Amino acid sequence: MNAIDIRDLLEQPGASKTVHIDETVPELRTELVEVPPDRPVVGDLTLESVVEGIYLHGAVRGTMRMRCARCLKEFDAPFDVTLAELVSKDPTEDDDYRLEVDDTLDPEPIVRDAVVLEMPFSPLHSPDCKGLCPICGGDRNLGECPGHEEVDPRWSALEGLVLPEIDDDEPGRAEAS
């Protein structure tokens, strides 16, 4: 994203300006979600001069490409994210964002952080997605899995065990009353 010249704002406390952004943000992704490099992030950001620095707020929107966490089907979903950050004139080590030496502000890290925080950790294309079969890999949503009898591996040691028949009429057995 292009850096925004803020010299005029720093010289006039209380001044503000609105900037329209319509740019791609490279490498905006998590494991299962991304904003593709050919899809821009669009929005209006207002920059206000305050005593501490620049208060940036606004909203950005775009489209995310997601991969379902259960069946790996790809799908698109829109996003609309609200931003509100203070960029300090005199940053300390605790401040997340800083003004550039040439009195510009690069909104990309702020936009990137806000969008990534909105990305779902485990996206689902449908709440009732049945996922992939762990045995054959078939998509259960499409009926590709014929069904398998699954045995809990913790019980596998008992697989060949044969128990003797118990005769309930056997002498010496006390009946529970």
Q: For residue 177, what pLDDT band results from cuts at 50, 70 and 90?
A: very low
Residue 160 is assigned to a structural domain of this protein: no
**Residue 153 domain flag:** no
| Structural domain contains residue 145 | no
Q: Considering the domain boundaries, does residue 20 fall inside one?
A: yes
Question: Where in the sequence is the domain holding 98, given as residue range(s)?
Answer: 4-118
Would residue 144 count as lying in a domain?
A: no
Give the mean pLDDT of 78-106: 87
∠ CA(164), CA(169), CA(170), 5° rounding?
Answer: 60
| Residue 13 is assigned to a structural domain of this protein | yes
Structure tokens at 63: 């489209």
Asked if the structure places residue 148 within a domain, the reply is no
Instruction: Say what the pTM is.
Output: 0.76
Q: Is 170's pLDDT higher than 70? A: no
Confidence of residue 31 (pLDDT cuts 50, 70, 90): very high
In sequence order, what DSSP letters do the residues of 11-55 get, joined into one string? TSTT-EEEEEEEE--TT-B-SSEE--TTS-EEEEEEEEEETTEEE
From its phi and psi, is residue 130 left (phi > 0), alpha (psi between -120 and 50) or beta? alpha
pLDDT of residue 128: 95
Dump pLDDT digits (tens) for 111-130. Answer: 999 999 999 999 999 999 99
Total domains present in the chain? 1
- Does a structural domain hold residue 155? no
Q: How many CA atoms lie within 13 A of 166 on its CB side?
A: 4
DSSP 49-114: EETTEEEEEEEEEEEEEEE-TTT--EEEEEEEEEEEEEEESS--TT-S-B--TTSEE--HHHHHHH
Structure tokens at 80: 């609309």
